[in-house]
Amino acid sequence: MEKIKIPPSKEPPELLKRLLNYKGDAESRHFLQKIRQYNSMFAFTSTGGNIDKTINKGEGPYVFRVNGQIHHRIGSLLPEPNKIPQFAKLYIFDTKNEIDNRIKALCKQEPGETDLNPTIIKELKKMLNECNPLVKIFRHARDLLEKHKGIDVSIRIIGANKGDPVQYEMPHPGKLAMLIVSDVTLENYERDIIVTSRNRGLQRISIFHPAYMPLQYPQLFPYGERGYQFGIYYHEDTRNQRGKKKRNKVTRHQFLKYHMHYRDNQPNLHLCYGRLSKQAIVDARAMEDEDRLQFIARNQKQLRAKCWRLLAFTSFTPQAYGDRCSLSLRVF
C-alpha cells in the first residue's frame, strides 16, 4: 500500500510548456540554456552560498555545485537611494522600465549575461502577473504606494502552524499573503514573513515556511503553490494503523522524494526544467541537512540524556576482559 499520496503538480502555463520543449525552436533552446538566469530575474529572494562555475568549463553534462551555507533572504519593498533595485523590489519600483531594470540587476549579479531575450522576459512577466498570486499581492502594494505617496505598506506572507490545513488547490492571494497599511512588528507574526516598504535590512526566511521555494523559484512554481509544511498525514488507508506506528505524518525527506520521482504523463518540476531543476534539487538537499541540524540543536538535552541513560544502565566489568581493558565514551 502506497503510504504517501500527494496531488500531482499542475500543468505549467502555455508559455512555459512551449519554452520547456527540448525539441522546440531556437527560442526554446535558448530559454533552457539560460533558464536559471530567467528565473533569477523574477525571484523574490536572494540566495546565499558560493556557486562554483569552474566545474562546467569543458565538455560533459551541466553540474550545479555550491559551497558555503545556503539560505534565502528577502529585503524591503523599496530600494535604498542610488541603488539598483533587485529581487522583490523589482515588482514595486519603477515598473514602467521593469524589463530594463531586471536585465541590469541580473548583469550586476552575473556579469556577462547580456544575451537574454527581452521578448521572453516580457512574456514571462505577463504570465506571472496573470498566474502567480504572490506577484499579484506585490503589484497591489505597488499600486497603493503609487496612489498614496509616503504611506507605510507591508506585505505579510502567511506561514503555517502545526494543524493548519495543507494547501493543495489553486492558491488564492488572500490565503498566501495580505497587505498591511500601517507599521507592524515582527513579534506579532512569528511564523510569517513581513516585507516592509522601509529598509529594515535583509531577513532570512525559515526553511519551514511553505513559501520558501516558491519565492526563490517562480518559474518552477508559477501558480505560487505552497511547499512542504508540517502536518501532512500519510495516505488515508495507512492512517488507520497510526496506533501501531510512531510516525503518521510525512517528513520533509519523504515529501521531496515523492515529488522528485518520475511518473508517466505528470509534470515534474524537479526533473523537467533542465539546469533550474538541478539547482532546486541541490537547494532541497540543503534544506534537509539544515532541518536535521536544527533538530539536533533543539533537542540537545534529550539526545544527551539518552546517551547518559544508556551508560547508566550498562555495567562494565574490566576483570572479565583482562587488565588491559579500557572504555572510551564519545558524546556527539
Percentage helix, strand, coil, to 5, in the chain?
45, 10, 50
Instruction: Give the pLDDT band of residue 138 (cuts 50, 70, 90).
Output: very high
Query: Residue 25: which residues within 8 A CB-CB, separation 6 or more?
Result: none
Please give the pLDDT value at position 244: 57
Instruction: Give the pLDDT band of residue 270 (cuts 50, 70, 90).
Output: confident
Query: What CA–CA distance (Å, rounded) separates 269 from 251?
Result: 20
Q: What does each C-alpha distance from 36 to 156, 218, 234, 279 come to in angstroms?
A: 27, 11, 34, 8
Return the C-alpha cell found at 29. 533552446
pLDDT of residue 40 exceeding 50, the answer is yes
Whether 151 is in a domain gets the answer yes
Whether 1 is in a domain gets the answer no
Its domain, for residue 63, covers 14-312
Whether 325 is in a domain gets the answer no
What's the pLDDT tens digit per position in 62-106?
Answer: 888 888 778 899 988 888 887 888 899 999 988 889 999 898 888
Q: What are phi and psi of 180, to 5 degrees?
A: -125, 115
Whether 320 is in a domain gets the answer no
Q: Please tell me the pTM assigned to this model.
A: 0.82
- More confidently predicted of 253 and 164: 253
Whether 103 is in a domain gets the answer yes
What's the pLDDT tens digit per position in 152-187?
Answer: 888 888 888 766 767 666 667 667 787 777 665 555
Whether 272 is in a domain gets the answer yes
Angle CA(173)–CA(176)–CA(177) in degrees, nearest 5?
80
pLDDT of residue 286 exceeding 60, the answer is yes
Domain count of the chain? 1
Whether 301 is in a domain gets the answer yes
Please give the pLDDT value at position 319: 44
Whether 207 is in a domain gets the answer yes
For 110-133, what is the mean pLDDT? 88
